[in-house]
Structure 1
Amino acid sequence: MDLPVMPPVKPMLAKAVAKIPPGMQYEAKWDGFRAIVFRDGDEVVIGSRTGKPLTRYFPELVTAVRENLPPRCVIDGEIVVAYDGRLDFDRLGDRIHPADSRVRLLAERTPASLVAFDILAVGDDSLLSLPQSDRRTVLEAALSAAGPPVHLAPVTRDPAVAEEWFERYEGAGLDGVVAKPLGLPYRPDTRVMYKIKHERTADCVVAGYRLHRSGPVVGSLLLGLYDAGGVLQHVGVCSAFSERRRAELAEELEPLRVDVAGHPWAAWAHAEAHETARLPGTPSRWSGKKDRSWVALRPQRVCEVAYDHMEGDRFRHTTRFRRWRPDRAPESCTYAQLEEVVRYDLTEVLSAGGR
């Protein structure tokens, strides 16, 4: 492979802001695996956000890249998996599997798509120094003849349209809007774009915590919600506390510590238990040999957390602590409090990229 921009390349990143800023290029924020795709003839490398290759996990995209992208190019985009008309991150995560036979099987059962939203090189030319608006023009020309599973991400310069996308596209599994300054050159591994994500709040039961790597202090709180059958399900974590606050939490929660044997999540260490309930320490190819042990607490305290959206019956991302809720009974913290998003057909989003 001999391209003007060579792997590995870490993608340009975005920083969170509260509102959609004016005077920019706006795109939907895709919920998948960020990928930099390098093609030099038949040679294809798909690099992850960290620079590690994803190529072997998506053989169907290697074929699609050869069929739909220019012979020599570098494309920035998102790998996504669609199911039942919306993005499905869990099924996308299943694609990262060590067995080649399983990878091939899943490539047929849950094929991935590539949503392209930037271009770093084409032919013999590096485009890193070009402004965002010019790179978009080149990208549209490069993908003018592309077809599924390669898609051109829809864009607009109208803030009103971006606001509409922010509200409507969440129903298709997308999680916000990205704003890009029109004159911005491509700056790898730098937060120079802006992301606007949905934020909601929920009252959750604090049923345990994990220790921080720095010592015997709280690293993250383990959150639970009661399902319709009255079973406490693990739905996510809350973290990002200051060093001082981590120590304070450990002292504050000490009276609630219990032996895990009598806890609602006592079966967490048994793999088969995860098949019928959502428990902390779920086996994952992402966690590897990471210690998943945790400190059990009596599920008596409730906290309010901010979250962006749900992935099935759990929080998609780490939540943000807002406050303790001493006025709430743990049993009142159910899934019923969560806002249900109006569904929106993903194909409508993808088809907009060509217009």
Structure 2
Amino acid sequence: MQLPVMPPVPPMLAKSVSGIPAGMFYEPKWDGFRSIIFRDGDEVEIGSRNERPMTRYFPEVIEAVKANLPTRCVIDGEIVVASPGKQGLDWDALGQRIHPAASRVALLSEQTPASFVAFDLLALGDESYLDRPFGERRAALEKALAPARAPIHLTLGTTDPAVAAEWFQLFEGAGLDGLVAKPLDEPYQPDKRVMKKVKHERTADCVVAGYRVHKSGPDAIGSLLLGLYGEDGKLASVGVVGAFPMARRKELMVELQPLVTTFDDHPWAWAAHEAGERTPRRNEVSRWNSGKDLSFVPLRPERVVEVRYDHMEGARFRHTAQFARWRPDRDPHSCTYAQLEQPVRFDIADILT
């Protein structure tokens, strides 16, 4: 492979902001695997955010690249899996695509095929586009991808903040993650937070039902395990909160000791896990956390915490929640899914152009 921009290239990043900034180019924020695709004829490589190649996991994307992208190019984008049943993006199905067995990779490429959504151009032919302003890169990308067909897509984009605000509300129902705002006059800057991202932020009152120990040692909390009660009255595992200063982690370890219990009467005992209920034990063995101890210390589900979250993936928080405040005034059994805001469903097919 001989390209003007060669792998690995860390992608350009975005900094979180609270509102839609003015005077920029706006795109939907796709919730998938950030990927830079390098193509030189029949040679194709898919780079990831951590700069490790993902080429072997997406054979159907490789074939689509050969059929749809320019013969020699480097394009930044996102690999996503759209679930017809959910009419939106399916993060869980995408996560399953990273599998060590070639036979499983081949099977999943047929059962849950992925798409590539392009949103920036780093090189075309013999020319590097890294130093060109984004407005020029976007125009060249639109021209280069004009003949492309699914599963290769060009992301929607607009300079109208009113349209962007409408997308921000509508597209969440299809599993998208917010908005990305890009300055039209900036070059591509790998690993720099040049762009802005606007994400949904909501709050929920959750039950603290366990904790994991911090990697620094047994005297500090790593994360608190959060639960919500379902209509069946059972406590479901919905995620974790864990961004605490070290001093606070050590204080929490002392504060929570009176709540430590056994699994005998805990809602997330092995019996609940084996019955198919949503418990943290689902993740104790994970190819995403190879060698990492994901076991936890059970707590009596008596303490309530208010957390900030962006959106749900099925029955759990899509990302790690953020601590807001303790809620000693809340009855743990009042912490149910009913409090969560449900976005209006929106068909992903109306977004993938």
Q: TM-score range by the shorter chain?
A: over 0.9
Cα 1:274–1:86 change in 2 (3 A) is farther
Following superposition, the deviation at residue 228 of structure 1 comes to 1.2
Following superposition, the deviation at residue 301 of structure 1 comes to 0.3
1:291 matches 2:293: yes
Q: 1:264-343 maps to which residues of 2 (within 5 A)?
A: 264-267=267-270, 273=273, 276-281=276-281, 282=283, 283-343=285-345
Rounded to whole Å, the distance in 1 between the matches of 2:300 and 2:104 is 40
Task: Map Cα deviations across residues 201-242 of structure 1 (whole Å, 9 max, x no partner).
Answer: 111000011111122211111000111111111110001111
- Secondary structure at 2:109 match in 1: helix
Matched residue, 1:218:
221
Rounded to whole Å, the distance in 2 between the matches of 1:13 and 1:255 is 43
Following superposition, the deviation at residue 252 of structure 1 comes to 1.4
1:173 matches 2:198: no
Matched residue, 1:92:
94
Following superposition, the deviation at residue 260 of structure 1 comes to 2.9
Cα 1:179–1:275 change in 2 (3 A) is farther
Q: 1:1-355 maps to which residues of 2 (within 5 A)?
A: 1-84=1-84, 85-215=87-217, 216-267=219-270, 273=273, 276-281=276-281, 282=283, 283-351=285-353
Deviates more, 1:74-83 or 1:290-299: 290-299
Rounded to whole Å, the distance in 2 between the matches of 1:193 and 1:212 is 32
Task: Map Cα deviations across residues 120-165 of structure 1 (whole Å, 9 max, x no partner).
Answer: 0010111110111110011111101000000000100011111000
Rounded to whole Å, the distance in 2 between the matches of 1:203 and 1:53 is 39
Rounded to whole Å, the distance in 2 between the matches of 1:280 and 1:348 is 35
Q: TM-score, normalised on structure 2? A: 0.96
State the AA in 1 paired with 2:112: T
Cα 1:274–1:139 change in 2 (3 A) is farther
Following superposition, the deviation at residue 245 of structure 1 comes to 1.1
Following superposition, the deviation at residue 261 of structure 1 comes to 3.4
Gap regions ≥5 residues in structure 1:
none
Following superposition, the deviation at residue 275 of structure 1 comes to 6.6
Instruction: Using the aligned pairs only, state the percent identity.
Output: 64
Rounded to whole Å, the distance in 1 between the matches of 2:270 and 2:122 is 49
Gap regions ≥5 residues in structure 2:
none
Q: TM-score, normalised on structure 1? A: 0.96
Rounded to whole Å, the distance in 1 between the matches of 2:4 and 2:20 is 34
State the AA in 2 paired with 1:148: A
Rounded to whole Å, the distance in 2 between the matches of 1:220 and 1:192 is 30
Deviates more, 1:1-10 or 1:274-283: 274-283
Deviates more, 1:243-252 or 1:149-158: 243-252
Paired residues in the alignment total 348
State the AA in 2 paired with 1:232: L
Aligned-residue CA RMSD (Å):
1.2
Rounded to whole Å, the distance in 1 between the matches of 2:295 and 2:185 is 48
Rounded to whole Å, the distance in 1 between the matches of 2:135 and 2:143 is 13
Rounded to whole Å, the distance in 2 between the matches of 1:200 and 1:311 is 14
